[in-house]
Amino acid sequence: MARDPGRVLIFDTTLRDGEQSPGASLNLEEKLAIAQQLARLGVDIIEAGFPFASPGDFKAVHRIAEVVGREQGPVICGLARAARGDIKACADAIAPAAHRRIHTFIATSDIHLEHKLRRSRSEVLEIIGEMVAYACSLVDDVEFSPEDAGRSDPEFLYPAIEAAISAGATTINIPDTVGYTTPAEFGALIDGINRHVPNIDRAVISVHGHNDLGLAVANFLEAVKMGARQLECTINGIGERAGNAALEELVMAMHVRRSYFNPFLGRDAASSEPLTNVVTEEIAKTSRLVSNLTGMAVQPNKAIVGANAFAHESGIHQDGVLKNRLTYEIVDARTIGLADNRLSLGKLSGRSAFRARLEELGYSLERQDLDEAFARFKDLADRKREISDRDLEAIVSEQVQQPEAHYTLTHVQVSCGTTLLPTATVTLRTRDGADLSEASMGTGPVDAVCQALNRLARVPNDLVEFSIKSVTEGIDAMGEVTIRLRHRNQLYSGHAADTDIVVAAAQAFVNALNRLMSGSERAPLHPQKAALASGDPLPVGERPAL
């Protein structure tokens, strides 16, 4: 049996694999806000990014290592292809963290060897030994992934894993890169590794999987039964294509069905010791933060964090739940922190009360951000009688989108109605302080606003998604708008909340435009596809400047 940490470690890759979702790219402030929340959630390891991708990615991992990688905090991990340049950049980026890990990978399936790497099995074995040893010369904690393990020939996979452990890797991660395996097959793969890799007792077995067939969570739970003790997952299951295994589903499955899983960890079935270190009460809040900042809406029927997951619509169910909630509920909404939405502040609350409540909610803003967020709060308090924690979260999550702003929205005005042609006037302030105004007509007020903004920004884009939902209940609730724009085949999202939904739409559009303009400036490297695109199987590059 592989090295056993005595519980299941949660390795969160929202900021790396999750950020690889189309349109989910995040700026430094947003990544930091998510990393801080992941630490409060109690994950064991945060994969903070792929530092070699771009100077921006390097800086984000470095900043997370500085701020979140405290002595009592999680391990801060960076991804690196099995190439010196990647590994060195990764070691430099995670250097400030008290606990740091390099996660290096290379593909082991024949299909990847032949078409992507154009390397033989023996060449790949040699690279694994050399690159894992190199990573171990820079940090104590090294994880190795044989990419596409789910489709790799065990005859080659076993020696590849053995070579990585011999070179010093202490975590072996088994990725089902294309989400191809079924639970029984994935369980058997882990079992086979446990039985056939001679030095496997020197490493923790981890699993990583994509949801192309909707099986990622089921596969992981089977892997736990076979000895996997680290799960790589993302909040809301975001990630490449159909996404990664969802953290909240894995954690809650093991929480609700603890007595089923306990014996697989050598515990008494009745043991009440948690199987993971996750603070389940932080799940709903983390889900909202990730959804707001990535612009990736959570489907209403999504397990655990979907809007309908705790809604008992049908009369029969409501009746049953009122008599005894166990009739139709297996999870109490409070367990994931859902019922917790205090009415916290009002019109007369001052700056220190505002800051104190934000800190209680886990947000500590820098001085200027705090001033701006407080001004937004005061403005909201003039229009809305009571401000709840959800409203504060909406204000803060919008605030962290602003720092890289090319444009700031300073004015928006629309006229519309049954007999009017919808018309909008907008003003944007540029980085150097110039005010630019435009007016436009449209099919409706939002269309008119977007057309006016497009005339100012002059970057071609298509609006591919527009969604609106209310932050809380009540007629004076804020509306949250999420917008996704397509530019040169890339998606960019923007999110904003306001009691006036046209203002929220204008702000969300500006946030998406800002992200588009920063994104098209930096164009980061994709860790798994870059080698294929460049035709260079193992590019070695310079470390990006800090």
The residues of the shown chain that bind ligand KIV, judged by CB under 6 A, are 17, 105, 145, 147, 175, 177, 208, 210, 528
Which residues within the stretch 6-25 sit at the binding site for Zn ion (CB under 5 A)? 17
8 Å CB contact between 283 and 41:
yes
- Of the candidates 512, 485, 492, 504, the one whose C-alpha atom is nearest the C-alpha of residue 406 is 512
When the beta carbons of 216 and 506 are compared against ligand KIV, the nearer one is 216
The answer for residues whose C-beta is within 8 angstroms of residue 355's C-beta and 6 or more apart is 365, 370, 374
Token pair, residue 283, equals: 């799940």
Chain position carrying tokens 């452990």: 165
Give the bridge partners for 394, in sequence order: none
The answer for residues whose C-beta is within 8 angstroms of residue 371's C-beta and 6 or more apart is none
When the beta carbons of 514 and 528 are compared against ligand KIV, the nearer one is 528
When the beta carbons of 105 and 310 are compared against ligand KIV, the nearer one is 105
When the beta carbons of 139 and 178 are compared against ligand KIV, the nearer one is 178
When the beta carbons of 50 and 261 are compared against Zn ion, the nearer one is 50
What does 73 interact with, of Zn ion, ligand KIV, none (CB < 5 to 8 A by kind)?
Answer: none
CB of 20 to ligand KIV, least distance (A): 8
Task: State which residue has the least CB distance to Zn ion.
Answer: 17
What does 116 interact with, of Zn ion, ligand KIV, none (CB < 5 to 8 A by kind)?
Answer: none
What does 144 interact with, of Zn ion, ligand KIV, none (CB < 5 to 8 A by kind)?
Answer: none
When the beta carbons of 52 and 377 are compared against ligand KIV, the nearer one is 52
- Of the candidates 459, 466, 531, the one whose C-alpha atom is nearest the C-alpha of residue 504 is 466
CB of 2 to ligand KIV, least distance (A): 18
CB of 244 to Zn ion, least distance (A): 6
When the beta carbons of 145 and 482 are compared against ligand KIV, the nearer one is 145
- Of the candidates 526, 427, 544, the one whose C-alpha atom is nearest the C-alpha of residue 81 is 526
CB of 237 to Zn ion, least distance (A): 12
CB of 117 to ligand KIV, least distance (A): 14
What does 21 interact with, of Zn ion, ligand KIV, none (CB < 5 to 8 A by kind)?
Answer: none
CB of 16 to ligand KIV, least distance (A): 8
Interatomic CA distance for residues 484 and 371, integer angstroms: 28
The answer for residues whose C-beta is within 8 angstroms of residue 12's C-beta and 6 or more apart is 38, 41, 43, 45, 46, 47, 232, 233, 234, 235, 247
Interatomic CA distance for residues 29 and 47, integer angstroms: 16
Other CB atoms closer than 10 Å to residue 372's CB: what's the count? 15
When the beta carbons of 178 and 405 are compared against ligand KIV, the nearer one is 178
CB of 52 to ligand KIV, least distance (A): 13
What does 482 interact with, of ligand KIV, Zn ion, none (CB < 5 to 8 A by kind)?
Answer: none
Interatomic CA distance for residues 519 and 315, integer angstroms: 48
CB of 179 to ligand KIV, least distance (A): 9
Q: Is 57 in the site for Zn ion (CB under 5 A)?
A: no
CB of 530 to Zn ion, least distance (A): 14
When the beta carbons of 79 and 83 are compared against Zn ion, the nearer one is 79
What does 105 interact with, of Zn ion, ligand KIV, none (CB < 5 to 8 A by kind)?
Answer: ligand KIV
Token pair, residue 489, equals: 């085949």
What does 442 interact with, of ligand KIV, Zn ion, none (CB < 5 to 8 A by kind)?
Answer: none
CB of 502 to ligand KIV, least distance (A): 40
Element (H, E) at 355: helix 351-360
What does 147 interact with, of ligand KIV, Zn ion, none (CB < 5 to 8 A by kind)?
Answer: ligand KIV
8 Å CB contact between 113 and 121:
yes
When the beta carbons of 222 and 232 are compared against ligand KIV, the nearer one is 232
Sheet holding 423-430, edge to edge: 407-415, 423-430, 435-441
Using CA atoms, how far residue 514 sits from 53, 375, 440, in Å, is 20, 22, 20
Give the bridge partners for 171, in sequence order: 143, 204
Interatomic CA distance for residues 140 and 126, integer angstroms: 21
C-alpha R_g of the chain: 24
- Of the candidates 3, 54, 8, the one whose C-alpha atom is nearest the C-alpha of residue 31 is 54
What does 186 interact with, of Zn ion, ligand KIV, none (CB < 5 to 8 A by kind)?
Answer: none
Provide the binding-site residues for Zn ion, judged by CB under 5 A: 17
